């Protein structure tokens, strides 16, 4: 077959030019039509032949198919994508991710992955220091949900030292988390065999931050009722509002009751890089474990999530199993497989390391500040426009608002169908609001104008509707 990469095949590359052509078609489409054409799933299936065939096709035909798929994909890197907590494209990070694809290392051992396990170690320690862990460590996981899983699992096992060997004993262990927390907390408790009943939701204040007094009351009440509190989860950057729980106050409660203190900073952890905004994370150094997704505010390709622990050795203690066929060299401290919930594990580190080499701590600080500025700037537009209602002052890089009297869900769906922008809705104080996330630092003021103007314009064409739930 035509080849760009098979070592020793001795053939000229014909695939590379086609791949570059495809990439350029994509980049151009992102500029000229930042939202891909709306198609229902049925229309998509008719437009592109997706079935796996009995007989294969030429590389040329497959590359054509790939281009069709690429151009039909929602354009997360375009400047009109405000729908998720990730967006945009960082060139060096993407280039490094492509290198990682070609290297195809599995991260279990130094023998198999070489410098990449050293890079992972450096990143874990560097990120740990950013949240105040002077002698911590970290391991990359497939995403924020599973980083939270790791943190909560360590908490469970540290609480009950017999759990790893004997299993959960059926007692009522409780975890405390904000009513605005990520759904992975409940999900993880179910996965971990503790059950959803373990999750105790704690009330938030008017800014969406977990209330330390309510937390303390909840723990006291539960203890009286026979529960065994084992963990507090604080959220740094809630999904809808982008709110930050007050870590210092929560740390006081965690210390008072002697429970594990995990921080879900999947979204907001990157704020640790900004001198201007890192006060949001004040107290993070008092936590025991910390989830941080670099594929969100740090803009590297999916996925790039790390679980950090304040103390070295915990990951190994709770995740290692012997596997003599695998961990067989003497570089034992560098056999990261024993610290991971995975065995084979793709390399999610190189892209972040490369982006960080390019930007440095300083450049990343500027990038994070830029996101906060964009959100603030967009919120000003909302506040100035009499047709709109800002739900809350933005806590970080999310802006929640309504076009007064117009249904938020329908606005989002119409913007999508008319290829104007991709943005989603969320619930704030019992109302359905538009949630725009500003996580693409390449977006500029003209983009904000265009996004905002189109949104209000589209809203005005829609029938009135109530956003109260």
Tell me the window of 2-10, 211-219, 308-316, 380-388 that interacts with a second copy (CB under 8 A).
Answer: 2-10
- Look up residue 434 and give its two tokens: 């538009």
Tell me the window of 53-61, 131-139, 380-388, 455-463 that interacts with a second copy (CB under 8 A).
Answer: 53-61
Strand ranges in 10-169 using DSSP code E only, listed in sequence order: 81-82, 137-141
Contact call for residue 155 and a second copy (CB under 8 A): no
Contact 378, 437 (CB under 8 A): no
- The contact mask relative to a second copy for 70-89 (x = CB under 8 A, - = no) is x-xxx-xxxx---xxxx--x
Contact call for residue 66 and a second copy (CB under 8 A): yes
- Look up residue 103 and give its two tokens: 């290297």
Q: Looking only at residues 399 through 458 of this chain, which bind a second copy when binding is defined by CB under 8 A?
A: 409, 412-413, 416, 422, 424-427, 435, 442
Helix (H, G, I), strand (E, B) or coil at 294: coil
Taking CB under 8 A as the criterion, the residue among 35, 136, 138, 182 binding a second copy is 182
Alpha helices in 131-278 (DSSP H): 144-159, 163-166, 184-191, 212-224, 247-257
Considering the complex, what minimum distance in angstroms separates the CB of residue 326 from a second copy?
8
Contact 202, 179 (CB under 8 A): yes
Q: Looking only at residues 359 through 388 of this chain, which bind a second copy when binding is defined by CB under 8 A?
A: 359-363
Q: Bridge-partner residues for 399, per DSSP?
A: 436
Distance, in Å, from the CA atom of 227 to the CA atom of 39, rounded to the nearest integer, reads: 50
Considering the complex, what minimum distance in angstroms separates the CB of residue 271 from a second copy?
17
Helix (H) or strand (E) holding 364: helix 350-384
**Dihedral Cα 26, 29, 30, 31, nearest 10 deg:** 130
The residue among 7 and 386 lying less far from a second copy, judged by its C-beta, is: 7
Contact call for residue 276 and a second copy (CB under 8 A): no
Considering the complex, what minimum distance in angstroms separates the CB of residue 147 from a second copy?
10
CB burial readout 106-124, b (16+ within 10 A) else e? bbbbbebbeebbebbbebb
Tell me the window of 97-105, 212-220, 222-230, 459-467 that interacts with a second copy (CB under 8 A).
Answer: 97-105
Tell me the window of 203-211, 224-232, 244-252, 351-359 that interacts with a second copy (CB under 8 A).
Answer: 351-359
Cβ neighbour number for residue 84 with a 10 Å cutoff:
15
CA distances from 292 to 55, 206, 265, 267, 277 (A): 44, 25, 5, 7, 16
Taking CB under 8 A as the criterion, the residue among 303, 309, 421, 467 binding a second copy is 303
Tell me the window of 205-213, 277-285, 338-346, 377-385 that interacts with a second copy (CB under 8 A).
Answer: 338-346
The residue among 212 and 308 lying less far from a second copy, judged by its C-beta, is: 308
The residue among 87 and 382 lying less far from a second copy, judged by its C-beta, is: 87
Taking CB under 8 A as the criterion, the residue among 139, 155, 175, 194 binding a second copy is 194
Contact call for residue 228 and a second copy (CB under 8 A): no
Contact call for residue 114 and a second copy (CB under 8 A): yes
């Amino acid at each position: 077959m035509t080849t760009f990469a098979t070592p020793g095949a001795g053939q000229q590359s014909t695939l590379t030019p086609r791949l570059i052509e495809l990439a350029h078609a994509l980049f151009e489409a992102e500029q000229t039509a930042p939202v891909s054409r709306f198609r229902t799933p049925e229309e998509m299936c008719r437009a592109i032949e997706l079935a796996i065939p009995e007989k294969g096709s030429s590389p040329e035909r497959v590359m054509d198919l790939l281009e069709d798929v690429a151009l039909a994909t929602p354009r997360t890197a375009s400047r009109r994508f405000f729908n998720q907590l990730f967006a945009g494209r960082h060139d060096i990070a993407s280039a490094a991710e492509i290198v990682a694809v070609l290297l195809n290392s599995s991260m279990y051992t130094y023998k198999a992955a070489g410098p990449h396990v050293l890079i992972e170690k450096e990143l874990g320690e560097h990120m740990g220091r950013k949240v105040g862990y002077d002698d911590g460590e970290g391991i990359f996981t497939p995403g924020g949900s599973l980083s939270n899983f790791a943190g909560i699992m360590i908490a469970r096992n540290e609480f009950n030292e017999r759990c790893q060997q004997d299993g959960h004993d059926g007692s009522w262990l409780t975890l405390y988390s904000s009513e605005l927390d990520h759904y992975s907390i409940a999900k993880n408790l179910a996965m971990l065999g503790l059950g959803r009943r373990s999750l105790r939701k704690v009330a938030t204040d008017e800014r969406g931050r977990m209330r330390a007094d309510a937390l303390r009351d909840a723990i006291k009440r539960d203890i009286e009722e026979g529960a065994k509190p084992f963990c507090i989860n604080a959220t740094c950057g809630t999904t809808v509002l982008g709110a930050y729980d007050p870590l210092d106050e929560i740390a006081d409660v965690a210390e008072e009751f002697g429970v594990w203190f995990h921080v879900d900073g999947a979204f907001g952890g990157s704020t640790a890089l900004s001198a201007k905004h890192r006060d949001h994370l004040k107290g993070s150094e008092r936590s025991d474990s910390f989830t941080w997704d670099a594929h969100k505010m740090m803009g590297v390709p999916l996925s790039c999530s790390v679980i950090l622990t304040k103390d070295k050795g915990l990951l190994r203690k709770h995740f290692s199993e012997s596997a003599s066929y695998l961990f067989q060299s003497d570089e034992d401290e560098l056999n990261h497989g024993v610290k991971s919930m995975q065995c084979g594990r793709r390399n999610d580190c190189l892209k972040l390391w490369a982006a960080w080499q390019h930007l440095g701590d300083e450049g990343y600080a500027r990038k994070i500040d830029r996101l906060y500025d964009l959100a603030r700037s967009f919120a000003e537009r909302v506040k100035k426009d009499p047709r709109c209602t800002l739900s809350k002052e933005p806590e970080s890089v999310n802006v929640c608002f309504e076009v007064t009297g117009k249904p938020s869900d329908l606005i989002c769906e119409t913007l999508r169908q008319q290829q104007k922008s991709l943005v989603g809705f969320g619930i704030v104080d019992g109302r359905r609001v538009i949630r725009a996330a500003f996580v693409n630092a390449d977006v500029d003021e003209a983009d904000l104008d265009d996004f905002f103007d189109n949104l209000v314009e589209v809203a005005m064409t829609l029938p009135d509707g109530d956003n109260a739930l």
